[in-house]
Amino acid sequence: MKTSEIENILKEEVYRIAPDIEITIIDRESDLREEFDIDSMDFLNLITALSNRFHIEMPEADYPHMMTYNKMIAYLDEHIA
């Protein structure tokens, strides 16, 4: 799967949780929770949605590797077969 496809799916799932977010103006290197103004439960919902969507495990131990928008894309890109 191409990185652009991964990013499109990530955007879709972010919009489900935080529909007012304008992804084009976020700091892609800042904490997702701060940039999207979401709480820990919303972050877990995002992880669960992405895990289901891509059919991959996203264990809690890996969360530090998913804390920014760019890191999340890189993590997904690396773990999707």
Asked whether the predicted pLDDT for residue 47 surpasses 90, the reply is yes
Overall number of domains in the chain: 1
User: In terms of residue numbers, what domain contains 30?
Assistant: 3-79
Decide: pTM greater than 0.85.
Answer: yes
The CATH code of the domain that includes 30 is 1.10.1200.10
- For 52-78, what is each residue's pLDDT tens digit? 999 999 999 999 999 999 999 999 999
Paired tokens of 3: 């990185």
Other residues' Cβ atoms within 10 Å of the Cβ of residue 25 = 7
Give the per-residue pLDDT at 71: 97
Residue type, 75: Y
CA separation for the pair 43, 59 (Å, rounded) = 13
